[in-house]
Amino acid sequence: MHETARSILSRTGATGSDAIAIANLDLRLAKAVVLYRTAIIDGRASERELVCFRQMLEDRVGVAPDELDLYEQMAIEAGLCSDGYLSYLRMLKSMDLESRQEVVRMMCEIAVQDCVLHEAEIGLLEQAAALLCVRLGEDCDGAFLTRPGCC
């Protein structure tokens, strides 16, 4: 995982002297990896899931529009790493409770974009919620699938 992170940091131009920028990059990358994993966990990422993923990166994770392609590629590469998704999910444990809850809510929103909660998605959401010490809320139950705009 460390080699992947070094490779990613070198592409962003971040330097070792800017610890705050690197910490923010790490958290944004961790969120991107976790959200991308949510989109692909059922074996395929629907167009709606990918659009939602990219929109969340920009609107809620703080990725600039000109960085979206880079973050998507970094999320794909990081997900292929042997330590993979769980290492990035563990990075998010350092955030405050509200931020951890927001990550799980975003995961839920991506998972229901195709209007079906697959068993793999449910397992991933349960695992993430447990690891981040948050409870799955109503956002992730079946009623969430009936929200306006879904199917």
Residue 14 has a pLDDT of 47
- Average pLDDT value for residue range 120-143: 80
pLDDT in the model for residue 8: 52
Q: Are 110 and 35 in contact (CB under 8 A)?
A: yes
Q: How many residues does the chain have?
A: 151
What domains does the chain contain, in order, with CATH numbers? 2-146 (1.10.3680.10)
Band of pLDDT at residue 45, cut at 50, 70 and 90: confident
Give me the DSSP letters along 97-131.
Answer: HHHHHHHHHHHHHHHTTTS---HHHHHHHHHHHHH
The predicted model gives 86-105 an average pLDDT of: 93
Whether the per-residue pLDDT at 148 is higher than 50: the answer is no
